[in-house]
Amino acid sequence: MCNRPTRGLGAGAVKYIREVAEMKSSPDCKVSLYASANLLIKDGHLVAPSGKKLGLKQQNALKKFLSIASQITEATAKSKDLQEVIDFTVKITGYAEHLKKKQSIPANQGKNQGSNSKAREDNLEELKKRAQAFVDETAKADAEVSGDKEKGKGQDEQCGTRQLRLFLEWLHLQNAGEDTLEEGRKAQNQNVVSMTTIHQAKGLEWPVGK
């Protein structure tokens, strides 16, 4: 996301941000990449253990990216419409325009970039459908618990950020083969060993890992 579409924050910049995060971390306090990036904006002269530091262009690119991230965070907290949040994120990051440009590249010049972009657009549409399915499921569960059959009433009480977190948890459980959050949580609490691939593990955390 930080460099797609290209915004001057390539692998070298990300590596530097990661090095600063590790340098500033302690056993009791781990500094995230996001916090590390903000530190670099406040002090552009920070030097990583490798001796690297961000150039002026990279600092400006990082400021723009952090501004985008801040706007997404604010929009997520205010909105209770997951599809709206997805559309806003795709638009403000420039990803929608990026896909359109890729689709316009002739087939003999883009190495199937057009078809790949179409597939990514289809994935985004599928993500929005999943978001609506999650909203429908949680609204139904809220109505059953409260005894109120009015669809969606309980959903209005959820903070947008909390709703997004629950959606991502639900989405992971769906991909793992569980039908509902409740079923997934029951499965997680069983005395079993769960196996997953490295690709599926991105963004997940466990108290114990090997």
Structure tokens given for 202: 């991105």
Q: How far is CA 140 from the centre of its chain?
A: 26
Of 85-89, 175-179, 184-188, 204-208, the range with the highest mean pLDDT is 85-89
pTM (two decimals): 0.67
Across 59-98, b (16+ Cβ under 10 Å) vs e yields: bebbeebbebbeebeeebeebbebebbbebbbeebebbeb
What confidence tier does 205 reach under pLDDT thresholds 50, 70, 90?
low
Q: Which residue stretches of the chain are H helix?
A: 11-24, 33-42, 56-78, 82-92, 95-103, 107-110, 113-146, 160-175, 181-188
pLDDT of 65 above 90: yes
How high is the pLDDT of residue 206?
A: 52
Residue 187 has a pLDDT of: 52
Spell out the domain ranges in the chain: 1-78, 80-106+115-189
Q: What is the pLDDT of residue 151?
A: 46
Weakest mean pLDDT among 68-72, 86-90, 115-119, 152-156 = 152-156
Ranges 16-25, 62-71, 141-150: which has the least confidence: 141-150
CB 5 within 8 A of CB 95: yes
Has residue 137 got a pLDDT over 70?
yes
More confident site: 138 or 145? 138
| Choice among 56-70, 102-116, 134-148, 189-203 with the minimum mean pLDDT | 189-203
Question: What is the Cα–Cα distance from 176 to 178, expressed in whole angstroms?
Answer: 6
Cα–chain-centroid distance for residue 26?
Answer: 25
Task: Enter the tokens of residue 82.
Answer: 């997951």
pLDDT band at 157 (very low <50, low <70, confident <90, very high): very low
Q: Is the confidence at residue 81, as pLDDT, over 80?
A: yes
d(CA 16, CA 50): 8
